[in-house]
Amino acid sequence: MADLKKTLSLSAGALLALTAVTGCGTQAENAAEDAASGAQSAAQDAASGAQSAASGAASAATSAVGAASSEMTDDDESSAASGAVADPDAQAAVDAVLAQHAGGTVTALDRDDDEDERWEVDVVVDDQVKELTVAADGTVTESETDDADDEDVAQAKDATVDVTAAIEAALEGRDGQVVDEVELDEDGDRLAWDISLDKADRQDADEVLVDAKTGEVVSTDG
């Protein structure tokens, strides 16, 4: 009987030990699961944070590109405006003359009062002053060449602002006005472009004096 009790006592002890071990194993498993779950949650949070940061960076980059694009558009519009031909008809006459006399300097430009699309143009080529006529179709004909006009030749060499730049300066802020006549001449002790402008209906408008060395408008009458 004593042996039976001893055996039952040992069996109960073994059972308790087994239960304790099993409990420890379960706790360990739970702890492992909790740790894995925490690690997974942390990884998910990190991934979410990285995705959010990437999204923010992409948004910032898009905004920067948009701003740069807008700035470029403004700059392009400003460049286009500053590079626009002030008076296309006058410029076409100048271009037609210089196409035939490359390196020449246009010193006078006069729109024909009877035929708006015809121009009389003086151009200095080397030491000669050529008087030309430019028709509406761009045909250039020479009417006279003067070999003895030293003053015009000297003025053409002294001018650092050409006729195109002078016209642009004269027409700035004068919408609706066009070139009637341009002449490079002395104004007191200043070399200047004397530019007469007309309204679109060919009535007289402003007369503008542009410094032939600085490009500044020095006087306006009109």
Q: How much is the pLDDT for 6?
A: 44
| pLDDT at residue 116, rounded to an integer | 59
In the Cβ-directed half-sphere of 54, how many Cα atoms lie within 13 Å?
A: 6
Quick one: pLDDT at residue 152? Answer: 92
pLDDT of residue 104: 96
DSSP 11-71: HHHHHHHHHHHHHHHHHHHHHHHHHHHHHHHHHHHHHHHHHHHHHHHHHHHHHHHHHHHHH
* pLDDT for the residue 80: 37
Please give the angle made by the CA atoms of 24, 25 and 31, to the nearest 5 degrees.
90
From CA 90, how far away is CA 182, in angstroms rounded? 10
Structure tokens at 97: 């003359």
Q: How many residues does the chain have?
A: 222
Task: Give the H or E element holding residue 185.
Answer: strand 177-187
Asked whether 120 and 105 are in contact (CB, 8 A), the reply is no
What is the assigned CATH class of domain 88-221?
A: alpha beta
Looking at the whole model, is its pTM more than 0.85?
no
25 vs 99: CA distance, rounded Å? 99
d(CA 155, CA 195) in angstroms, rounded, equals 16
Give Cβ neighbours of residue 90 (< 8 Å, ≥ 6 apart).
109, 111, 119, 167, 178, 179, 182
Q: How many CB atoms lie within 10 A of CB 3?
A: 7
pLDDT tens for the chain, 222 residues: list them.
444 344 434 344 443 433 443 444 445 455 446 645 654 665 466 545 545 544 554 454 344 334 433 443 344 344 334 445 678 999 999 999 999 999 999 999 999 877 657 999 999 999 999 999 999 899 999 988 887 678 999 999 999 999 999 999 999 999 999 999 999 999 999 999 999 999 988 899 999 999 999 999 999 986
As given in the structure block, the two tokens for residue 149 are: 């006009």
